[in-house]
Structures are given as structure tokens and as C-alpha cells.
Amino acid sequence: MQKASPRRPPIRVVLADDHPIWRDGVRADLGERFEVVGEAATADEAIERIAELRPDLVVCDLHMPGGGGLAVVAACAERTRIVMLTVSEQERDLLDAVAAGAVGYLTKATPGDELREGLLRAAVGEPVFSPSLAMLVLGEFRRLAKQATGTDPLSEREREVLQHVARGYTYREVGEQLHIAAKTVENHVRNILDKLHLNRKQELIRYAVEHGIE
């Protein structure tokens, strides 16, 4: 008789937004794979909760008192993974958030099932973006690559992988579409970062913003 696989512990989440009704709605949408261990209504409160509770993931609004989500990301991105969940679809807001260290940027119009899927991916370190914003991210990747060398240093396959990753596909989904293993996709992403002398996916965009590549 085959043993049932052990149940994975829930992903511990801090919700940060100055609207309690929004926090209630997100908590209800998250489901059993997540456990909300803390909430905050200001950036300062969020930073305190993160330091105290050490969550696996933070879901944070961009605009709230005390410096907003950018202040939270700047203070805590090295400690935990942070996803912006906001009404803003402005390019500058997106790039500023990712430049500060956010692992994802989703709009509040994201349906519940897509939100859960995106947050599950973010919790393991994959970048996640609303589909309507993914092409902005891809454009920054491309401009950064050309800025680094004056030409595009990436191979055709690396460009294909980058395009799919920037559009929000998981490594597994990219592999299925390109007929390669998910591990091979991960290796391609690592090679892209190596070519640009960067350490994390988010740093690609951070470099672009810091150097005014627009």
C-alpha cells in the first residue's frame, strides 16, 4: 500500500495594505496553501512584522503610509520574498519595485486562482508579473543586454528562454514550450545572469533603472 505523501507546511505570509477590507479579501483568496501570520497598514508596521515574524512571503501594496511598498522592499528584500499587489500599471512603478528587489508585481485585478499560482511561484523565488506588464519587463531585459556590450550577448535560445520567463511562465512551462527540461531553463537563466555579471533575476532590472536605461 502506497503511503500518502506528507503534507507540505503552508507558506507563511504577511499582508501589508492600509485598507483592511482588501486584506480580508486577499486572506480569503489565498486558501489552505498559505497562512497569514501578520498584517500591517503602514510601511513601518510591515517592516516590524517582517523582522518579528520572518515570513516566507510578503504581499504588499505599493501606496500606503510611511513610504509605501518601496520602503518595505528596500528594507526587507534581502530577508524575504516580496510581491507587490497594486492597482498601478505604470511602467515606472513596476520598474522601481523590481529595482528595489521585489520578486513580483501583480495588479489587484488578478483573479484569485492566478494570484495563488503566482504567489506559490514567488515563494520559491520565481519572478511573477501580471501578463499585461510582462512585456515591459522583457523590454528592460533586452535593453540591459545591449547596454552591457553594445550588442546582444545572448544566444538565440537564451533570448527565447528570457522572453518566456519575462512573460510570466514557470520554468516547467517554458521547458514544455521549448521542448527542454525545466532544469535546462534554470541553467539558461543562470547563464544570462552570468553574462551580465549579475547575481539575481531582479538585479537585471535594478541595473537598468539605476543606469537610466529606458
Query: Quick check: helix, strand or coil at residue 106?
Result: strand
**Per-residue model confidence as pLDDT tens digits over 104-137:** 889 888 888 989 999 998 998 888 887 767 666 6
Q: Where in the chain is the domain with CATH 3.40.50.2300?
A: 11-129
Helices (H) and strands (E) in the chain, counts: 10, 6
> For position 110, what pLDDT does the model report?
87
Distance CA 84, CA 92 (A): 13
Instruction: Give, in words, the CATH class of 134-210.
Output: mainly alpha
- Do 156 and 148 form a contact (C-beta atoms < 8 A)? no
Query: What's residue 58's pLDDT?
Result: 97
On the question of pLDDT at 211 being above 60, the answer is: no
d(CA 169, CA 82): 18
pLDDT tens for 19-30 read 999 999 999 999
Location of each CATH 1.10.10.10 domain in the chain: 134-210
The pLDDT assigned to 41 comes to 95
In the beta sheet, which residues pair with residue 13?
Answer: 36, 57
pLDDT at 166: 66
Tens of pLDDT, residue by residue over 32-65, are 899 999 999 999 999 999 999 999 999 999 999 9
Measured CA to CA, the distance from residue 210 to residue 37 in angstroms comes to 34
pLDDT of residue 4: 47
Pick the CATH number of 11-129 from 3.40.50.2300, 3.50.50.60, 3.40.50.1000, 3.30.2140.20: 3.40.50.2300
Whole-number CA gyration radius for the chain: 17
Mean pLDDT, the chain, rounded, equals 80
Which range, 74-83, 86-95, 189-198, is most confident? 74-83
128-144: per-residue pLDDT in tens?
887 767 666 666 665 65
User: Comparing 89-93, 94-98, 160-164, 192-196, which segment has the lowest mean pLDDT?
Assistant: 192-196
